Amino acid sequence: MQDNIRNFCIIAHIDHGKSTLADRFLELTHTIEKRKMKEQFLDQMDLEREKGITIKMQPVRMDYKGYALNLIDTPGHVDFTYEVSRSLAAVEGAILLVDATKGVQAQTLANLALARKQGLVIIPAINKIDSPLAKTQEVAAEVSKLLGVADQEIYRISAKEGTNVQELLDGVVEKVPPPKGNAQAPFRALIFDSTYDAFRGIITFARAVDGEISTGQKIFLLASGAEGAAKEVGYFIPQETQKDKLFCGEIGYIATGLKDSNDVRIGDTIAGVKTGVLPLEGYRTPKPMVFVSFYPQAVDDFDALKAALIQLKLNDPAFSFDMESKEALGRGFRCGFLGVLHSEIIAERVQREFGIDMVISRPSVEFRLIGKDGKEISVKTPVDWPDEQKIERMQEPWAMLDVLAPAAYLSQISQLVLSIGGVQGTVEDFGEGRLLAKYEIPLRQIVADLYDKLKSVSQGMASMDYEVAEWRPADLVKLEIWVAGKSEDALSAIVPRDSAYREGKNLVAKLKEVMPPQMFEIALQAVSGGRVIARETISAQRRDVTAPLYGGDVTRKRKLLDRQKRGKKELKEKGRVVIPPRVFLDLFRS
C-alpha cells in the first residue's frame, strides 16, 4: 500500500502558477468532473480568488495510474512562509515552479531553502512557456545553476494550456519516494493544519506516519494531553470524503469531536495509544513580527470578535492575540502577525466571514527597552512605552533583506533602502542581467510600505524576501497626539527620534482633514518628550445666531453674538471631543 503513495507539494514565488498547475492535475487525474471545474479550484476562499493569491494550504488526494497522489497546494507570499514549512514536513517531494517570464524570484529561493532543509526531492519545472514574453532557455539556465541539475531534468510546461503537465506528473510518480513508516506499529500522525466544525468539533489535517486508524477509535493528543475519539476519518478529494480507515503514509483528516481550541495544536502528535508512543517532531511556533490592534466598531460585537479570532487561530497558528483596552475605542485585541499582508488577510476574513466591522490600528513591531534598573521591557504598542527617564537603552529588530532585480534598477533600489535607514550588503550576479542585492534594514521600515515602494522604483520588476536577524541599538521616542488638550492613546506611535517632527506634522495635518468640526475650536498637537513639536487647529463651526432677527437695534445682534462667544469659550474649556471610529479608519488607511 505504502509503495503506491506519493506525497508532494508545489512551491514557488507568488503568481508563478501553482494553483493553475494544481487545476491541471485535478483534470488529468479526473479528481474533479469537468462540469464542476473552475479556475483556482483549490483556492476555496473568495478572498484568495479576488487577490489572485493562495492564502491557505490545501491538500487533495488524486488517483493516477494505480498510485495515490497526495498534493498540498501552498502559498507563495513571504508572509505565509509558515504555511509552506508545515506542508513541507508532511511530504517527501516538491515541485519547484518557476515562471518563464520572470525567472527565479526572491521567495523561490526562500522556499527552496526550506524544502532542502527538510531533505525533500526537488523536481524543477518552468511554467508559462506559451507566453510571448517567455525566456524559457535563460530561465532554464538559472534553474540548472541553482539546483545543480542537467538542463534535460527540468520540465518545461504550460499549466494554462496543459502542455507537458502529464510528463511532470509522471515525473512525480517516478522521482518522489514512497513514505516511510511502520504499518504494524501503533498509530501516530502529525497534525499540520486544523479547522472547526460545529457538529464534528475540531477537524485535524493529519499525515499518518505509523499504523492505521479507524472511525470510532480512541485518540490521544500527546502534547496537550487531550483524549477523544475519531468521530470521522477520510481524505480530501478535495472536499472531505469519509472513509473507514486512514493508513500509514496517507494524508487525510480526523474529526476529533473536541471543542476546546487549547486541546488541539498544530504540530502535535495524534496517537492511537496513550503510552509507549514517542511524539513526532512538530513545528517551531513562529514569533509574531507585526502587531496590529483590532477593535469592534460596535461595543456589543466584542464577544463575537473574540470567538472569531479563536476560530481563525485554529486555522492559522502563526496568528496570536491578547485582550487590551483603550479609552477612545473600548475593549479590543492586540494581534500578532508574520507580516502586513498577513494582518490584512486576517482582518478581511473577520469582516467577511463573521460580519464584524472593526477599527484597525496601524502596524507596529516589537521593541526591547532596558530600564535603568536593568530589567528588560517588551513594548508591542505605544501604550506600553514607559517614561523616557526610566529607559537606559533601546533595541529594535533588524532584518536581512534580499532583493532580486534587473541590474538597471539596482541604483534606484539602493537609494530607496539607504534613504530609510538600510545598510548596503553584498551584490551577487544572478545571471541573465539580474542581481541579488542584500541589505540590512530595520524591520519597522519593511512593515511600513517598503514592498509598494520597491515595486514602484523597479517598475514591478523586483522581488524581495526578508528574515529577522538580530536586535540592534535604536534611538526611539513615543509620539503622542493630543486632541483638545487630551492625549489619545489610539493615535500614538513609536518613531525614530530624528523623524518625530516630520511624522507628527504629517499626522496632525491628516487628522485635521478627517476630523469632523465641533462648535468650538479644537487644537491638534503632536507631542514628543513632553513638548509640542507640531500643531494644527480645527476652526469652530459657526451657527448664525442672528438669522432669525430682522430690523431692530444693532445691540440685539451684538448681545446674541457675545453670548455665542462666551458659550464657545466655555465649550473650549469644558468640551470633550469624541473621535468617531471612521476617523481612525481614515487615518490608518492613509
On average, the pLDDT of the chain sits at 84
Contact 382, 364 (CB under 8 A): yes
Which cell numbers hold the place of 302? Answer: 466584542
What's domain 290-360's superfamily in CATH?
Elongation Factor G (Translational Gtpase), domain 3 (3.30.70.870)
Percentage of the chain beyond pLDDT 90 is 25
pLDDT tens digits, 126-183: 999 998 988 999 999 989 988 999 989 999 999 889 899 999 999 999 999 999 888 8
SS3 253: strand
Query: What pairs with residue 532 in β-bridges?
Result: 527
Query: pLDDT tens across 433-484, in order?
Result: 888 999 999 998 888 778 778 888 888 778 888 888 899 999 999 998 888 8
Q: For 527-543, how does the pLDDT look when each residue is reduced to its tens digit (9 = 90+)? A: 988 889 999 888 876 66
Band of the pLDDT at 43, cuts 50, 70, 90?
low
Q: What pLDDT shows up at residue 166?
A: 94
* pLDDT reading at 225 higher than 80: yes
DSSP, collapsed to helix, strand or coil, labels residue 553 as coil
What sign does the dihedral 518-519-520-521 (CA atoms) show? positive
pLDDT at 299 over 80: yes
The fold of the 2-175 domain, in CATH, is Rossmann fold (3.40.50)
pLDDT tens for each residue of 562-587: 776 666 665 555 556 767 766 766 66
Residue bearing cell 497546494: 73
83-123: per-residue pLDDT in tens? 788 888 889 999 999 999 988 888 788 888 888 988 999 99
Residues of the chain with CATH 3.30.70.870: 290-360
Nearest by Cα to 100 from 146, 141, 144, 136: 136
Identify the band that residue 267 occupies on the pLDDT scale cut at 50, 70 and 90.
confident
* Portions of the chain given CATH number 2.40.30.10: 188-271
Structural fold of domain 188-271: Elongation Factor Tu (Ef-tu); domain 3 (2.40.30)
Helix, coil or strand: residue 303 = helix
Q: Is the pLDDT of residue 360 over 60?
A: yes
Q: Which residues contact 492 (CB under 8 A, 6 or more apart)?
A: 382, 383, 385, 478, 479, 480, 481
**Has residue 388 got a pLDDT over 60?**
yes
CATH of domain 369-474: 3.30.70.240
Asked if 305 contacts 107 with a C-beta cutoff of 8 angstroms, the reply is: no
Helix, strand, coil distribution of the chain in percent, nearest 5: 30, 35, 35
Predicted confidence at residue 26, as pLDDT, reads 87
What's the pLDDT tens digit per position in 11-37? 888 778 888 898 888 888 988 776 666
Domain(s) labelled CATH 3.40.50.300 in the chain stretch across: 2-175
Q: Report whether 87 contacts 9 (CB < 8 A).
A: yes
Strand 155-156 and strand 121-127: the pairing is parallel
Q: Distance between CA atoms of 432 and 142, rounded to whole angstroms?
A: 8
Name 325's Cβ contacts closer than 8 Å, sequence gap at least 6: 331, 332
pLDDT above 70 as % of the chain: 87
At residue 284, the pLDDT reads: 73
CATH 3.30.70.2570 occupies which residues in the chain?
Answer: 478-589
Other C-beta atoms closer than 10 Å to the C-beta of 51 total 17
Which pLDDT tens digit goes with each residue over 499-557?
889 989 988 898 888 888 776 778 889 998 888 999 988 887 666 655 566 666 667 66
Residues of the chain with CATH 3.30.70.240: 369-474
478-589 fold: Alpha-Beta Plaits (3.30.70)
